[in-house]
Amino acid sequence: MAEQNDTVLELKKVTKVFNQGTINEKTALDGLSLTLHKGDFVTIIGGNGAGKSTMLNAIAGVWDVTSGQIVINGADVTRLPEYKRAVYLGRVFQDPMNGTAATMSIDENLALAARRGKRKKLTWGVTAKERERYRQMLKELDLGLEDRLSTKVGLLSGGQRQAITLLMAAMNDPDLLLLDEHTAALDPKTAAKVLALSEKIIGENGLTAMMVTHNMRDAIAHGNRLIMMNAGRIVYDVSGEEKKNLKVQDLLDKFEEVSGGTFANDRMLLG
Amino acid sequence: MTSSMVLAIRFSALLNALPGNIAQGLIWGIMAIGVYMTFRILDFADLTVDGSLATGGCVCVMLIRAGLSPVLAVLAAFLVGMLCGGITGFLHTGLGIPGILASILTQIGLYSINLNILGQSNQPVAASKYKLLASLAYVNTTNTAVKVIFFAGLALAVFLLILLTYWFFGTEIGHAIRATGSNEQMAKAQGINTNAIKVLTLMISNAFVAMSGALIAQFQGAADVNMARGSIVIGLAAVIIGEVIFGKFCAKRKAAFAFTLGAVVIGAIIYFIVYAIVIWLKLPSEDMKLFSAIIVAIFLAIPHLKEKYGRKGAKANG
């Protein structure tokens, strides 16, 4: 490859059209290209329907993309089904209910994640040795869950479930961590906790991560790179010192420039 | 005769009938475990069983009549049951047909296949002629040894199947099935091939069902194309009776799942005891299916109604 060796993700002109050929046709991703390097922590912002979640779903393989190529750690995964891409990815969803199996216990959920992408066998789904390890991991979380290993996850609060999903996502050092507005459904206090935990887990494990958020302050405060999306394209991409010095107002101005710009043009036409 | 004497005679008639019904309940309990796997663990309403149970019976009876040992004939029924479940699984995951519809298509197709296997609408298999594993004759015999061996053997077999099922759902594959049934999106994100898991579960479930059908056919001394009609309702009734009566008892145990499976088998036994009482009371037995359907409908509705109207206890069914 011509790229540097530390390239984790490459999106090459990825396009996704929903309901192609119908009256509801919508181009959600429009020739999107993006390269992530090892250790990058990218925050992604943009208005509703900008394609933020769609981009993460395209990477995760929720459906096939219409055109373009997706490469993770040098492997072309464009045609790989979702469950086969899981070996590269850790994912946390917006809805805390989505990341865990409610009818299974905490240790069983963690054990599933520990076996992510591995061939399932007729050996025990969770061993005593693992349980001890999970107890330690939960202790570090400091949510009082270390003594509730056999509690069904469905009985936990949204914040607790999201924290467990984070632990699960970070297990086995995934090549890429996808956080899809994973604090949006939580109350502000819990959201801040989960966000701090995300930051900690990413930092400690040196993970490469993408985090979609609605909160511009969070987008500036976290990560080393920031992307703004609009109409299925990346319209703004900053990193390093430039990102550190960003203010919310800068983002608002930029946002107006890309989305409001067209609005102004429409107004002019109509006027 | 005084009326109390009549009652005593009639009551002894019920007691005489009970062992047969308990045996029937144990055999149907195997079927109910199969239903539990799809309905409760995979969250898939599989109506294949209304065909595959009879297929198991038909295959078993024809093989025994052809001279195969009843043990191997039951094993063959098990494998054929896997095939039946596999067809529903393929229709659903491979061809995108909605789950319930896929299972109905298999069920309807199996009716013709069962008729072809039997060559006519029913075929007898007599305990006097073959060394059957199960038979009403073993229950009604005056030979106590035969009786005891039959009941002990049947109970042991069911117990071993419960242990096997308990172990299986504690393995990595078993966990993958439970995750798929609980949250398919999460299962995929954890690298589980949910389509393959669904097919596998349907295969195992229907293998249990067909094996149960093979024993039912032996027990009643014949395979009949209509023997499985409405069996899904009996299976669901067993699951629900077991859960309602023993749910709280099971939840507190360490190996809660094993106890739940046991409760499901007891649920099947209770179902057939109720059936015996219905017959004993000279109530029209044709109405048993309507009665079962209503009971199942009521108990399936309870969690929903609790959530909608209840203030307390809405979480009890977690």
Q: How far is B57 from chain A (nearest CA, A)?
A: 30
> Closest residue of A to B178, CA-based?
A104
The reply to whether A153 falls in a domain is: no
Task: Report pLDDT for A25.
Answer: 94
Cβ(B48)–Cβ(B88) below 8 Å: yes
Tokens representing residue B106 in the block:
């298999």
Domain presence at residue A129: no
Of the candidates A60, A93, A125, the beta carbon closest to that of B174 is on A125
Q: Enter the DSSP assignment of A99.
A: S
Cβ-Cβ contacts under 8 Å between A and B: the total is 88
Sequence letter at residue A36: L
- Comparing A68 with A214, the larger pLDDT belongs to A68
Q: Which residues on B lie below 8 Å from A123 (Cβ)?
A: 171-172
* Interchain CB contact of B173 with A (< 8 Å): yes
Question: What pLDDT score does B280 carry?
Answer: 85
Find which of A62, A89, A103, A162 to mutate to test the B interface (most B CBs within 10 Å of its CB).
A103
B185 CB neighbours in chain A (<8 A) are 93, 98
What residues make up the domain containing A230?
Answer: 7-98+174-270
Is residue B31 over pLDDT 90?
yes
Residue A212 within a domain: yes
- The sign of the torsion formed by the CA atoms of B283, B286, B288, B292 equals negative
Q: Is the dihedral of CA A107, A113, A115, A119 positive or negative?
A: positive
Counts for chain B of helices (H) and strands (E), in that order: 12, 2
Cβ atoms within 10 Å of B222's Cβ, excluding its own: 17
The rounded distance, in Å, linking the Cα atoms of B283 and A16 is: 64
CA distance B3 to chain A (A): 55
Number of domains comprising chain A: 1
Report the CATH number at residue A15: 3.40.50.300
pLDDT of residue A1: 42
Report chain A residues whose CB lies below 8 A from the CB of B186: 98-101
Q: For residue range B236-289, what is the model confidence (pLDDT) as tens digits?
A: 999 999 998 998 888 888 889 999 999 999 999 999 998 888 888 888 877 878
H or E element at residue B106: helix B99-118
Task: Give helix B194-220 / helix B172-182 axis angle, nearest 10°.
Answer: 100
Per-residue pLDDT of B119-133, as tens digits, reads 999 999 999 999 999
pLDDT above 50 for B17 = yes
Q: Suggest the residue from A63, A77, A83 to mutate for an interface test with chain B (most B CBs closer than 10 A).
A: A83
- C-beta atoms of A124 and B171 within 8 A: yes
State phi, psi for A20 to the nearest 5 degrees: -60, 135
Give me the DSSP letters along B212-281. HHHHHHHHHTEEETTTTTTHHHHHHHHHHHHHHHHHHHHHTSTTHHHHHHHHHHHHHHHHHHHHHHHHHT
CB distance A88 to A175 below 8 Å = yes
Residue B189: per-residue pLDDT: 96
pLDDT, tens digit, 9 for 90 and up, residues B135-165 = 999 999 999 999 999 999 999 999 999 999 9
Q: Is B297 on the interface with A (CB under 8 A)?
A: no
Which residue from B173, B183, B191 is facing A86, i.e. has the nearest CB? B191
Closest-CA distance of chain A to residue B186, Å: 5
Q: Do A101 and B188 touch (CB under 8 A)?
A: no
Tokens of B48: 């294949």
> Is residue A147 domain-resident?
no
Residue A84 Cα, gap to closest chain B Cα (Å):
6
Tell whether the model's pLDDT for residue A65 goes beyond 50: yes
Which of the two residues, B296 and A58, has the higher pLDDT score?
A58
Domain range list for chain B: 3-281
Whether B187 contacts chain A with CB within 8 A: yes
For the stretch B93-119, pLDDT in tens is 999 999 999 999 999 999 999 999 999
Q: Which fold has domain B3-281?
A: ABC transporter involved in vitamin B12 uptake, BtuC (1.10.3470)
In degrees and rounded to multiples of 5, residue A179 shows phi and psi of -110, 110
Average pLDDT, chain A: 91
Q: Residue A259, class by beta-carbon neighbours within 10 Å (0-12 exposed, 13-18 middle, 19+ buried)?
A: middle
- Tell whether B177 lies on the interface with A, counting CB pairs under 8 A: no
pLDDT at residue A270 in the model: 42
Q: Is the pLDDT of residue A111 over 80?
A: yes
- Residue-level pLDDT at B312: 52
- Residue A51, token pair as written in the block: 């394609």
What are the start-end ranges of the E strands in chain B? 122-124, 222-224
- The nearest CA of chain B is from the CA of A147 a distance in Å of 16
Using a CB-CB cut-off of 8 Å, the residues of chain A touching B181 are 103
What residues of chain A lie within 8 A of the CB of B177, using their CB?
none
Give residue A185's pLDDT. Answer: 92
pLDDT for the residue numbered B1: 56
Say whether residue B306 is in contact with chain A using an 8 A CB cutoff.
Answer: no
| B186 with A100: Cβ contact below 8 A | yes
- Taking residues B22-29, what's their average pLDDT? 97
| ipTM rounded to 2 decimals | 0.90
Residue A4: predicted pLDDT: 52
Question: Is B189–A123 a contact, with Cβ atoms under 8 angstroms apart?
Answer: no
Choice among A90-99, A102-111, A262-271, B134-143 with the minimum mean pLDDT: A262-271
Q: What average pLDDT does the segment A22-41 reach?
A: 96
Q: Do A93 and B171 touch (CB under 8 A)?
A: no
pLDDT digits (tens, 9 = 90+) for A229-270: 999 999 999 999 999 899 888 888 888 888 765 544 444 444
Which chain B residues are within 8 Å of A111, Cβ to Cβ? 175
Residue matched to tokens 């009776």? B241
Q: How far is A3 from chain B (nearest CA, A)?
A: 28
pLDDT at site A271: 33
Contact criterion met (CB < 8 Å) for B182 and A91: no
Whether the per-residue pLDDT at A153 is higher than 50: the answer is: yes
Angle subtended at Cα B19 by Cα B80 and Cα B298, rounded to the nearest 5 degrees: 70
> Does any domain span residue A248?
yes
Q: Which two structure tokens, joined as six digits, stand for A69?
A: 């190529």
- At residue A263, the pLDDT reads 43
**Which residues in chain A are contacts of B191 at CB distance < 8 A?**
83-84, 86-87, 115-118
Query: Would you place residue B305 in the very low, low, confident or very high pLDDT band (cuts 50, 70, 90)?
Result: confident
pLDDT at B302: 81
